[in-house]
Amino acid sequence: MSLIALDETRFGLAHQRDCARAYGLILAGQAHSRGDLSRLLDLRSTSTSRVVGDLVARRLVIETTGEATGRGRPSAILLAHNRRIGASVIHVSSQSLSGALVDLSGHLVTERRMPIEAEASNETIAEAMAALARTLLEAMPPGMSHAGTAVSLSGLIDLRRGQWLLASRWPRMRGLDVEAVLAPIAGPVEICRNLDAELRARAARDPEQFSGGTLLLHWGWGIGLAYAEDGRPFAPAGSFGELGHWRLAALGDRPCGCGNTGCLETGAALWALLPALRRHWPALDEDEKRLSRQFAGLDLLALPEIDTACRTLARALANACRLLFPARIAVSGPFASNPQLWAHFNALFRAEGTMDGFAVPDLVSVDASQLYEIHGAAAPLLSRAAEALLLNSA
């Protein structure tokens, strides 16, 4: 699997486009030799030799000698050099910041994790980010060039200004200038919403399931959504998809970390429900992955707070569908791992109905995986770095 998606419109010269197309075929495993490239791209042998020579010279491709199958020279095999470029990804993982160095194939070269106290300030979180960025740079294998650092964040983000405005896990953090912290250490910096990154990677992996309009709803520590059309996430420069901070009269004056009261998260997010849940099951974890396994066998619907959470979220999601009109909705997070709760939520959502002439969107649960988030965050940086190398093809 490759994380690269090349934009052919960036290549003004015919030879550059040939190099980009050849590299794409080799990355995808569709071409393994010069003969394959000549046939698939309709190139003369001299043009193919020049293309392969440039790709090898830039260390994007490795040409190895295969086994001889008869008389004459053995054929050469073309392989993508997946560790030619790497990108750092910093993301939120439970009550921690995590870092991963990922190569062109999506392989995680190294991972690091730094726990951060709930009362951490901007300075503490900035120091952790900077330390992760340095550690990931130091872990780069010899010969790997660094495409930059992608920062995938939950909560409210100002993408245009590169600021992390707030996050429910660290309520004291406000307006952290992520770009200013990381650009001098491991730039360029690419900041994205975590759900946009996850949806981008899911659509790339399974384009058929994520064709048309798709909503990705995360129901966990916080509540948020992303929207994509045919796999292209709608990601404006400002914040988007803050379903968890829609204010509902039914939730009264419950305080929310965003500064308002009565937000959906105050009645349906894990941070709000966990105290009531732990009165019945004291050993419940805060880590969403471990919590998913714990939730799977519990009678969560025995708690009236959970029924309220299902009802308020089902109505909010149905209203979001009247804004975006998706064909399908994928739901991730620990609550979706409980079969009884999921069936109840699904029934409540379908009972909300839709407008005349529109079908109720398909609702499916998907396993949460931070690997999707990492891949989706790294892909733009890796693609641009590969394009820059290809643009130097003379």
- Euclidean distance between CA atoms 182 and 110, whole angstroms: 19
Residue 361 CA neighbour count, 13 Å, CB half? 27
User: How confident is residue 368, by pLDDT bands cut at 50, 70 and 90?
Assistant: confident
Please give the full DSSP string across 34-62, using - where no structure is assigned: HHHHHHHHT--HHHHHHHHHHHHHTTSEE
Q: Per residue in 161-210, pLDDT tens? A: 889 998 888 989 999 999 999 999 999 999 999 999 999 899 888 888 88
Percent with pLDDT over 90 in the chain:
71
Residue the block writes with tokens 């190099």 = 19
What is the sign of the dihedral through the CA atoms of 114, 368, 241 and 261? negative
3-class SS of residue 306: helix
Tell me which residue of 266, 228, 226 sits closest to 246, measured CA to CA. 266
CA torsion 39→42→46→52, rounded to 10°?
Answer: -70
The mean pLDDT of 335-348, rounded to a whole number, is 95
- Euclidean distance between CA atoms 35 and 37, whole angstroms: 5
Residue the block writes with tokens 């290809």 = 390
Q: Per residue in 59-87, pLDDT tens? A: 999 998 766 555 555 578 999 999 999 99
Say what the pLDDT of residue 237 is: 63
Q: Taking the complete model, does pTM exceed 0.85, yes or no?
A: yes
Say what the pLDDT of residue 360 is: 86
The mean pLDDT of 136-148, rounded to a whole number, is 96
Per-residue exposure over 194-230, b if at least 16 CB sit within 10 Å of its own CB, e if not: bbbbbbbbbbbeeeebbeebbbbbbbbbbbbbbbbbe
- List the domains of the chain with CATH numbers: 8-81 (1.10.10.10), 85-197+371-385 (3.30.420.40), 205-369 (3.30.420.40)
Residue 84 CA neighbour count, 13 Å, CB half? 25
Q: Residue 333: exposed, middle, or buried by beta-carbon count in 10 A (0-12, 13-18, 19+)?
A: buried
User: How confident is residue 241, by pLDDT bands cut at 50, 70 and 90?
Assistant: confident
- Euclidean distance between CA atoms 48 and 64, whole angstroms: 16
Tell me which residue of 149, 156, 110, 109 sits closest to 130, measured CA to CA. 149
